[in-house]
Amino acid sequence: MIKAPEKLVKDDLVAIIPPAKAIDPVYISHAVGILEGWGLRVKLSDNIQSKQHQYAGNDDERISSFQHLLDDDEIKCIISARGGYGTTRIIDQLDFARFMKYPKWIVGYSDITALLLKLHRLGFQGIHGPMPINFSDEGVEESLNRLKNLLFSGYIEPIIFAGDHQNVPGKARGRIIGGNLSLLVNSIGTADDFSADHRILFIEDVDEYYFRIDRMMVQLKRSGNLSHLSGMIVGNFSMMHDNEDPFGADIQKIILDQVKEFKYPVCFGAPFGHEIPNFPIPVGGSFSLEVKKDNVILRQLED
C-alpha cells in the first residue's frame, strides 16, 4: 500500500522551496497570498532567494534547506516553487528517516518527478501538480481549486477530458505512477528506479526533440516498464522540436509504436504537464481509467 499523508486543516503550516532552479520572488509573494487565502500558514525555505548560476543556491544550500523542511514536524506540506534542473543533484543526500515517521505532502511536477519517485519507493504518495511559478497563470484557477480540495480532503473529482481518434480504448484499474518522461528515464538504474507493473503510467514532457522522445520511450520499453502496465495516460508534450531532416513521427505515433504489442488502454491529451490546466494527481493513489474515442474518465478509488 502506498500511504497518503494526513489531510490539511485550517492553520496548518506549509512550506515553499525551490529545490532546483532559482525563482523570481514575485511568484512567491503571489503564491503565499493564495495559500494564506486557503487558511494556511506559509513558511519560506532558507534558500528561497538564493541564486548560484541557474540554481536556487549551491547544492549544499538546497540540501540543507530541504532537509530542514523534511525534519520540521510542524510542516504538513512542502510545495516546490518550480522545477528546472537540479533536484537529482541533491536527492541522494536527503535523509527521509524523519519524514517516514511523520510524512507530509510534497507537491510539484517536471523536475520534481524525481522526488515523487523517491516518495513512491518509500511507500508514500506525493502530488504531481501546479507549483507557485504557475499560480498566476491565466486559467489556472481550476487546477488550484483541485489542488486545494485534494490537500484538504484527500480526494479529487473525476478527471474527464476529450478523447482522441488515436486512443486505444479500454478500462483499467491500478495505482498511478509517472510524471516527466525525461526524469522517469533518468531514474532507471538509480536508487529510485521504479516498476510500472500493474500501474497506470502517465507521462508528459516539454522542450524536447522528437527523436529524444523516441529514445526515451525505447528505453522505457527495454527496461520492461511498458510490458505489464494496466494503462497509459499521455499528458502534454509541449514545445516539441524536429530536426532539419524531419524525424517522421509525431508524439502519438512515437508512443503507439512502442506499446502496439500490448493490450492495455492508452489515451492522449490528459490535462497534466507544462500547460494549463495542469490538474493535480496523487502519485501512488488508486484509480480507474476508462478510455474511449470520444472521452476519457480517470476516477480516484478508495484504498
* DSSP letter for each residue of 97-141: HHHHHS--EEEE-GGGHHHHHHHHHHTB-EEE---GGGTTSTT-H
Residues ≥6 apart with Cβ < 8 Å to 168 = 256, 259, 264, 265, 266, 267, 291
Split at pLDDT 50, 70, 90, the class of 303 is confident
The mean predicted confidence, pLDDT, of the chain is 98
Most distant CA pair in the chain, distance: 56
Grid cell in block for residue 183? 526524469
Domains of the chain listed by start with CATH number: 13-153 (3.40.50.10740), 159-300 (3.50.30.60)
Does 103 sit behind a cis peptide bond, omega within 30 degrees of 0 on the bond before it? no
Interval 190-237: pLDDT, tens: 999 999 999 999 999 999 999 999 999 999 999 999 999 999 999 999
Interval 25-44: pLDDT, tens: 999 999 999 999 999 999 99
232: helix, strand or coil: strand
